[in-house]
Structure 1
Amino acid sequence: MFRYFCQVLLTKKWGISIKKESLSQINQGLKIPRDY
């Protein structure tokens, strides 16, 4: 049970960090004009 709890916390932390990273990348993309 404790291990499961730790896994849930870890996945939540990773999810939050990934969301923040993707958001910052999107913001950078908006600030920096890119050629597609």
Structure 2
Amino acid sequence: LDTHVEGSPTREEFLQKYAGNIIEQNRIVGIYENK
């Protein structure tokens, strides 16, 4: 993640709060792998 995770969130809390960061990073990795 490009964002520091605060505390120890549950899986649901983590996904709710950081889903945007996770998806964006996966998109970048996918672009590099497909070229």
TM-score by length of 2: 0.49
Give the alignment's TM-score, normalised by structure 1: 0.48
* Structure with the larger helix share: 1
- Structure showing greater Rg: 1
